[in-house]
Structure formats: structure tokens, C-alpha cells
Structure 1
Amino acid sequence: MNYKKIIPAAIGLYLVFLVVLAPAAWWLKLVPLPAQVQLGPVTGTLWQGQVQAVSLNGYVLPQVNWQLKPWAFLMGKVALDLDIGQIRQTTSPYAKAQLSYGFSGFELESSQLRLPVEPIIPLLKLPLPFQVAASGNMLLNIQKFSMGKPWCEQLSGKASWLEAKFQAPSGWIDLKAIDVNLSCEQGQLQLVTEPGNPLALNVTALIGEQGKYQLNGTMKPDASLPKEVHQAMQFVGQPDAEGRFTLKLQSR
């Protein structure tokens, strides 16, 4: 028996277990977190653990759980299952994701994220002369995402604003649901709206390097929408022969 090979291997295996089985709270103390990120009580190990709550600039993510996948180490990757919140609590954030990081970069698959819209709006700091209120849930479903330059190598997914409503002077306006297909176009994130929403949004948006974006498309608010919506269209421009308003935006 070759003890010269067995002993170093045993020591290496022991050190690996020592690392992954150490308390997660101890490891997180070594990580320099941004000032806007705050962690609640931490339990478990690096292998499998939980943070009771994570605050991101005041936005709280409840019950953040993770579990490492040991087989991924054999492929030169670090992979984990991530769970946030509970799916039944529709007024709180929820996520279920499969993440990995290896030689090819960051990857995400079979993942879902749900965020209530109402607390997100104040964080967006929209450049509007009036306050905007909205409700509903943002739902993000990712079948496959792999990191590339500037953003992606592969992306297949869908984003939806469910039970979409926003507040006008006359009251709440129901937009039903707005769905967007997500894909990767030459490394850029591409968003394409699906038809069937009350605004008749037909938009394609590209997000490129350093967050630069361009958006092109049309919209034609349904006749059933309140007059405030139709009056606001005068700031968009003049409609074409079919009553559609052209949308064209581009970052500087």
C-alpha cells in the first residue's frame, strides 16, 4: 500500500470537509459586504445553511437557504440550490434557483424569481414629476442562462408582470398581465413583449455593454382604458394610420 499517496489524499479530504462543515456564520464574517447589505441570523454550514433574512438597500429577502452539490466539484464547478421565502406567501419575495460557477463562468438553470412590485417602485427612482404606485408581482422564469460578453452566451426565459395595476388620478388601472420573452442576441440581453396586453405593447429591447440599451416598438392603448392613459399618449407622439404610437428609446 502506497502510504505516500494515501496520507496526502486523506489530509486533503479532511481539509475539504473541515471547510464545508465549518459554521456558515464564521465564513460570512470574513466576507466584506457592501454597506447596503445586511444579514440576519445565520445557521448551518457552508455546505447547507440559512440566513433568516437579507436586506438589500432596505428590500428584505426572507429565509435564504442554500445547499451545495458535491458532484459538481468533480466537474470543476461550484454548484448550489438556492431557495428564498415561501411560494405560498405571495406578498413576499420568493426564489428557487440552481446556480453554478466554473471555468465557463456563471450559469443559471430551471430557476424562478417572484418579487412584489409595490416595494420595488420607490427603489427605481423613476425620473417622473409625480409619484407612481403599482401593484402585482414580477415573475422571472429562467430555463437556461450562461454568462458571456458583455452579458450572456445563452439565455432562454420569460418575465411577467402578473395582476399588473398602476394608479392614475381616477383610480387603479388594470393591465391584466404583461409578458416578455428573454433571449441572448450577440451577447446582449434581448427582451421581446408578447401580444395580448391592454397597451398592445409590441417592443424589442436590447441591453448591451455597461448597461447601454435601445428600445424600439409600438403601443396602442385599448379603448377600455381610462382617458388619462389616452391623454398621456400626446407626450409619446402622433399615432400612425392604425392608431399605434412609436416607441424609440436609447441610452446616451
Structure 2
Amino acid sequence: MWNNLSNFIPPVRWVLALVLLTLIFAVARTPATWAAHFMTQGNTLGLSGVRGTVWEGQARMASVEVDNQHYSLGALRWDLSPLSLLTLTPCADVNASLESQSIDGRVCAGLGGKVRVSDTSIDAPANLIQAGLPFPVQGQLSANIQSLAMADGQMQNLEGNLSWTGARVQAEGTWVTLGSYAAEARFDPEQNAIVADVFDLEGPIDIEAETRLPMAGGVYVKGQMEMTDDFSDQIQAREWMPMVLDHQQGNRYNIDLQF
């Protein structure tokens, strides 16, 4: 008798599969506005014009606030990975675009306020960071984040690189062309700081320097640089540069700065 009854009782794995499929179906039909609500809780991300579903949605406009400055990200789209729900770390492929800036990558959220970003590229005009600089800048910024991890708003890991191509700055009403530069960035947990090894790609300045940005604030730069004679004459470097940097010989200087 019991053997016969057992033939009618579905195996546990099929029951679990049915429950899982039911949950996935429910999530797939959940409005994107619910996802927008959760994504904007406890952070400075803002979304408007949201439509679609939690599974696959979009916002007409996204923005983020950094150091009391608002930055527009443009139209945002996301595509949630179904399998990531099984590990309780939902991951989504995201894309945001606005004129000459774009963000394309993968973002995962876990328990305890954990956030992980991977395989993400960011392109934006250099004037996007204008608010934090004492002079106008031009050029194009490009960043590639191999991995970035945060927990409770604190950085845990970072590996990536950044480039500034077509770099130009305005000094006393005149635009000065600097060339193109790049940096390999990482997070140093012992110093609790982002460390970037900066070097030149092309232009009138040869530079090798280490820049440290502690999470507590401040900027430290240490290294050396050398500029061409023509560029040195153009910016009258021999008159004022020794007051800022340690002059070695010719157009070569040691860099040891703290802001």
C-alpha cells in the first residue's frame, strides 16, 4: 500500500523546482517601480520615468549625488540575471547613456549592504568633474572597472584603470594641451586608500607617480616628471614650477604633494 502511495508523491526536487518557478514568475511580473524603490533606498541614486518589470526595466533618467554634487547618468536599462537569485545576490547587466557619456557593466547586490561591480566601462567628458577642480578642463575620461566591492558604504576592493585623453586645462584664459594619461588603480586595505599608478601615454609631459586617496580624505602624490623644452617655455615653468615641485635638472622635477 505505502509503495503504491509513494508513486503518487512527487519527489522533493520537483516540489522545490515548482516553488522556484512560481517565485521566478512572480518576480517577472513585479513592476519595475518596485525595483526602483529598492535600488534607491539608502543611497544617492535617483530614478524617474521607470517602466518595465523587476526582471527587465528602464528609467528615462537616472542621477547620482557624489560629495553634494548631482550627476546625470541619462537613460538607464537593467536586465536581471535569473540564476543570481538562487545565491541571494541578485546581479543585473546595466547600461546608462547620456550624450557623450556612457556606463555599461554588471552590478550585484548582497546581504549586509554588499555591492559588487565587475566588467564595467565608463566614458564621460572630463568637464564632468569640473566642480571639484579650480580650473576648466577638457578631454575624455575612460574607466574600466575589473572589480569593485563595497559593504555598508565602505570600499573593500578595487581593481581597474583610468585614462584621460585629449587632456587640456585653461590657465589665465588660455587653453594648454597636456596630452593623454592613464592610471592603474587598486584599493589598499592597510592604508584604507585608493592607490593609482599614473603614467603618460603621449604628450609634452613624461610622468610616473603614485597617487593615494585615503577614504578619510586628502590626496597624496609622489613621483617624478619631465617636460619638453617647448612646453616648459609655453607655460613659463622655470619661473614658477620650482616653487611647487623639487627641481632636479633641466625640465625634470620630483613630485611630493599633499592636498
TM-score, normalising length from structure 1? 0.77
Q: 2:116 aligns with which of 107, 110, 124?
A: 107
Provide the alpha-carbon RMSD of the alignment: 3.3
Alpha-carbon distance in structure 2 between the residues aligned to 1:29 and 1:185: 33
SS of residue matched to 1:220: strand
1:227 aligned onto 2:239? no
CA shift, 1:115, in A, is 1.3
SS of residue matched to 1:159: strand
SS of residue matched to 2:216: helix
CA shift, 1:63, in A, is 1.3
Q: Deviations over 1:110-140 (max 9, x none)?
A: 2100111124202x1x4x4xxx111111100
SS of residue matched to 2:249: coil
Contact 1:69/1:80, CA 8 A, preserved across alignment: yes
1:41 aligned onto 2:53? no
Alpha-carbon distance in structure 1 between the residues aligned to 2:83 and 2:220: 41
CA shift, 1:240, in A, is 1.2
Bigger mean CA offset, 108-117 vs 71-80: 71-80
- Alpha-carbon distance change, 120 to 214 in structure 1, aligned in 2, over 3 angstroms: closer
Q: Deviations over 1:173-194 (max 9, x none)?
A: 1122111112343454220012
Gaps of 5+ in 1: none
CA shift, 1:73, in A, is 2.3
TM-score, normalising length from structure 2? 0.76
Bigger mean CA offset, 215-224 vs 74-83: 215-224
Contact 1:236/1:245, CA 8 A, preserved across alignment: no
Q: Which amino acid aligns with 1:46?
A: V
CA shift, 1:222, in A, is 2.6
CA shift, 1:141, in A, is 1.0
- In the other structure, the counterpart of 1:207 is 213
- In the other structure, the counterpart of 2:83 is 71
1:151 aligned onto 2:155? yes
Q: 1:118 aligns with which of 103, 127, 130?
A: 127
Contact 1:134/1:167, CA 8 A, preserved across alignment: yes
Q: Which is higher, the Rg of structure 1 or of structure 2?
A: 2
- In the other structure, the counterpart of 2:97 is 85
Which structure shows the higher strand fraction? 2
Gaps of 5+ in 2: 1-7
- In the other structure, the counterpart of 1:193 is 198
CA shift, 1:206, in A, is 2.3
Contact 1:36/1:58, CA 8 A, preserved across alignment: no
Contact 2:76/2:96, CA 8 A, preserved across alignment: yes
Alpha-carbon distance in structure 1 between the residues aligned to 2:78 and 2:35: 14
Contact 1:220/1:244, CA 8 A, preserved across alignment: yes
